[in-house]
Amino acid sequence: MIDLDHFFDTAKDICIGTAKREIAARKGLHMTQRELAARSGVSFASLRRFEETGQISFESLVKIAIVLDMKSDIKNLFHERKVYRSIEDVINEANKER
């Protein structure tokens, strides 16, 4: 069965999902909210709000990602993607790689 749920995610869904993954990463490092807040330079209130609602400034999210060793995830957020205009473009690219 094909999972189509990601096609219907709202901005809020993505923010909440990101917060849940941050919580899992933080807990995986056996770090408390207060510890992560102190180490990242993000206020405890901002971190707590993020984990509860998914709302946070981008700069604070970057600071948290750095502490959780997830900086590359943020840096690749808008990475360049190859855009194909036709199936022929896809075939030609595949043939170049051979």
Tokens 């790689």 appear where?
97
**Cut 0.95: pTM above it:** no
Task: Count other C-beta atoms under 10 Å from residue 2's C-beta.
Answer: 3
pLDDT tens per residue across all 98 residues of the chain: 566 666 789 999 999 999 999 999 999 999 999 999 999 999 999 999 999 999 999 999 999 999 999 999 999 998 888 888 889 888 888 888 77
Task: Count other C-beta atoms under 10 Å from residue 17's C-beta.
Answer: 13
How do the domains of the chain map onto residue ranges? 5-97
CATH fold of 5-97: 434 Repressor (Amino-terminal Domain) (1.10.260)
